[in-house]
Amino acid sequence: MVFKKLMASLGAGGASVETVLFEENVVPGGVAQGEVRIQGGTVAQQIEGLSVGLQARVEVEGEDGEYKQDIEFTRVQLGGAFEVQPGAVHSVPFGLEIPWETPITTFLGRHLTGMSVGVTTHLAIARAVDSGDLDPVNVHPVPAQQAILDAFGQLGFSFKSADLEKGHISGTRQRLPFYQEIEFHAPSQYRGLNEVELSFVADGREMDVVLEMDKKPGMFGSGSDTYRSFTVDLHAYAQTDWAAYLNQWLAEVGGKRNWF
């Protein structure tokens, strides 16, 4: 599949640029393959630099409340300076590595509401930089993440929303300046539980799984959160029954606090 996004022409009579993704479906730890195509205009232009990167729209807590910020979290330079002659066509291939911490945007064939992640293209020309619109990519979970998400589904949890928050989760291997939270509505059998928030922080070997339980207000006091984190081997994850594991933990935590 070829996915294209046409960038604006670079000035009167200038070149136009097109970013092409050969496949917009990717996974953390994978590579997005594509090429940048530069079409010369009616005048010669000196290209000082060309790069592609990954960008995410992130929630930021400020003094005046929350606001959205676009954060580029990886970038690769594509060659050096060159000149584009009138009418000439340049095709510059690229392979953009997808960091292991890249947030998931697609699960079970549906886009997760609130997720905006994609490829950006930067072209430095004539002492200016032209940045194209975001070329969206669909980031699917790796098998270990899929197993955890499936376990929540097996236990009756339903997807509520997802967001990206600027900041760090303490005690994890996080390196990016933001993290993802995937929120689930709790099923009726967990009568004192309102929702669970799930975060993945992975590298090439293991993954930190962070859970935040939010109990319903009025259940023996005001609402409160309980955290839990554990590590999953990305290659040995299938040795664990994750539905049973999560159910046991939820039952233990809820039982100790008289939630359930």
Q: What domains appear along the chain, each with residue ranges and CATH number?
A: 3-58+72-139 (2.60.40.640), 143-256 (no CATH)
| pLDDT tens column, 110-167 | 899 889 999 999 888 765 556 566 789 999 999 999 999 999 999 999 999 999 999 9
Whole-number Cα distances in Å, 164 to 57, 60, 67, 115, 243: 7, 9, 12, 8, 25
Q: Which of 206-210, 212-216, 223-227 has the lowest mean pLDDT?
A: 223-227
Whole-number Cα distances in Å, 59 to 17, 26, 54, 166, 179: 30, 23, 17, 6, 10
| pLDDT tens column, 158-207 | 999 999 999 999 999 999 999 999 999 999 888 778 899 999 999 999 99
3-class SS string, the chain: CCEEEECCCCCCCCCEEEEEECCCEECCCCEEEEEEEEECCCCCEEEEEEEEEEEEEEEEEECCEEEEEEEEEEEEECCCCEEECCCCEEEEEEEEECCCCCCCCEECCEECCCCCEEEEEEEEECCEEEECCCEECEECCCHHHHHHHHHHHHCCCEEEEEEEEECCCCCCCCCCCEEEEEEEECCCCCCCEEEEEEEEEECCCEEEEEEEEEECCCCCCCCCEEEEEEEEECCCHHHCCHHHHHHHHHHHHHHHCCCC
> Beta partners for 239?
none
Token duo for residue 2: 């070829």
pTM of the model: 0.87
| CA terminus-to-terminus distance, the chain | 49
| 8 Å CB contact between 31 and 49 | no
The CA distance from 81 to 83, in Å, is: 7
